[in-house]
A = this chain, B = another copy of it.
C-alpha cells in the first residue's frame, strides 16, 4: 500500500534527481551548489540531506541508476555464442561509453567506485556483486566451450578483465588514448590477456 507520505517522498527524490541531471549537465557538478539544486527541485536546502548523505551521493545515485539500466540491457542482449573476447569487449565498451559521455561524472564515479571511501563500502560491494552475477555465467559458458582455462578461479578471470578495463579508463583520462582508439586498445589488451605474456613453446 502506498501512503500519501511514501508517494511524496518518491516524487521529491525524483525531483532532486531531475534537477541534478539538468544542472550538472548544464553547469557541471562543482559549479552547481546544493542551494541552487534545492531551489530547482522546489524544496529547501536541508531537505536534500534527508534523501542523500552528501553531494557526491547524488551523482552516485545518478550513475548507478544509469549503469543498472545498462546491465539489465546487457543481460538480455548478451549473445552467449559469440567468443568471450568479443562479449567482454562489448560489455566494457558499453560501460566505457557511459563513463566518457560525461567526463566530470565519469571521473568522479570512477574515483569513488575504484577506490571507495570506507563509508561507501557496503553499497559498493553490493553493486560489484551484481556485476559478478552478470559476468560469471558468461565466463562459465566460455569455459565449457573451451575458450577459457578451467583451472582458474572465475573471480580472478573477471578481475583480470576488469583490471585491464581500469587501465583503459585511466589511460583515457590521462589523454593517452583517444575515444576512437579505445575499442581497438581494449581488444588488443584483452586478447593479450587471453594469449598470455610469455612466449608459447
Contacts and interface: CB of A to CB of B under 8 A. Distances in A.
Interface of A: 103, 107, 110-112, 114-118, 121, 124-125, 128, 146-150, 152, 156-157, 159-160, 162-171, 173-176, 188-189, 192-200
Contact of A193 (B115, B146, B197): B197
A126 to B, nearest CB: 11
Contact of A192 (B112, B152, B165, B166): B152
For the residues of A in contact with B, the DSSP-based class is helix
A115 B160 contact: no
Contacts of A171: 159
A197 B194 contact: yes
B107 A117 contact: yes
Instruction: Quickly give the copy total for this chain.
Output: 2
Given A175-B125, A199-B148, A162 B169 contact: no
B116 A174 contact: yes
Given A163-B166, A166-B166, A124 B156 contact: no
